[in-house]
Structure 1
């Protein structure tokens, strides 16, 4: 079992590297340029050269920051990302037979949001602190919708007489959203983009307003941990929607790839929305529309 878990984590890390390359390639197509094409064969070694560059950067010791607390949030973020890998059946049944795994996953994505707030507060930077304030208010907006979305899928399962466990939820949740609730599927991807702090809803690190937001004071190895944890959560969020289909069918791979490309496509096409517009979209449009499906 331990070997399977280590194998899964290594595979996910390699997937993070190539998803970052895929994102840069798609963004280059959107901007009519070639993108990374020099490292190894057609740029395939670019992610590994980026990792070496980030890991080899020098470190600075801040005089007003307690360094042990400064290093804690990025390390905790990457640990949370790896813990989210345990909810999938390839780990040999370690956690996938527990009915409480849906609550387990929701707790993981919720705690990751609070780590972002903690990170901005500990940086002793005005820009990081502003990014944390935004994160605190955004949590209330999109997590309410995500919880309602998962509750709606659970109600559908119970109405069909399905056994209530996480594997059942995984195996049908993506298809239920895709087939019966197409609009909710699209809104669920929007909620996922908000939870993962991806463009066009990357208001926590809007460079035009906050330099780099909550991670302004992090560099080198610490920044690479934040970077990897964000992409890991992208993969875990996509697999959460597509479920066990990913491991056993071409349909699962198609759904997984479609959502990843859609998340990257949003960044290439849409500009960053205003903070007040985000609140209006989630509270006045998406949330009432989702509540309609309960009646």
Structure 2
């Protein structure tokens, strides 16, 4: 019995050619979409670098290391905004990640069905609140509460700790880097919680049921089964929240104090890169001032890029370890 290939009809050949052309154009379309993302990324970085060239050429490396920001004398340094941005984002991440982890574990593993729905809905509603509302609430409600109760306690007890006590010393103003960090933590909490909750739900039920059948407690199942299975996504969700915190503008502008004086204390007012740009860009009447603000935008782009790059490297390391 011989294998004979039947000849294709003209209609079939035309259909094959049409499908081939469609597949080629589909691949080109997807490639163009991916290339567009890279072009936008490079274009944004290049435009801010070009706009801030006057500041970089005038001040050089001192623009990054100097804490002086004097509009009248046209002396600008980015150290205070960079420090304020990094510290407030670090505080937000430090507070939000453990809280989001606990909420997500509670919703996925412990909460009864009648409670899981309302709490998950409340988390989604928090994510939908505009940032300016958080800023107004922080300025008019949380700030006075911070000044009256929390700041004096922190100053009296944490401020007396050797070495690190300098971070918690300061007058009870109610505004500053700590207040801004707490507001940012509340803002990024829903995003991190949503990511963690969804990935915790993706853990196969057979793995958890097998652990329970072997006598594991709920804590052991969460720590030894759920977390190792989803750790890459958990880290990714945390860095997603960090990226949101680094670029936040309006909420931080309300409660950070917008001061250009460098201070290690978290209780003192400071400024962030985004808040400085939002406050001063419309009033920048000299080319050097405007260029300095655009240069701040480039530095924020660079900081965010390296933070997300570190996240990608960490995720790749976790993926390799999981594969091994």
Q: TM-score, normalised by structure 1?
A: 0.30
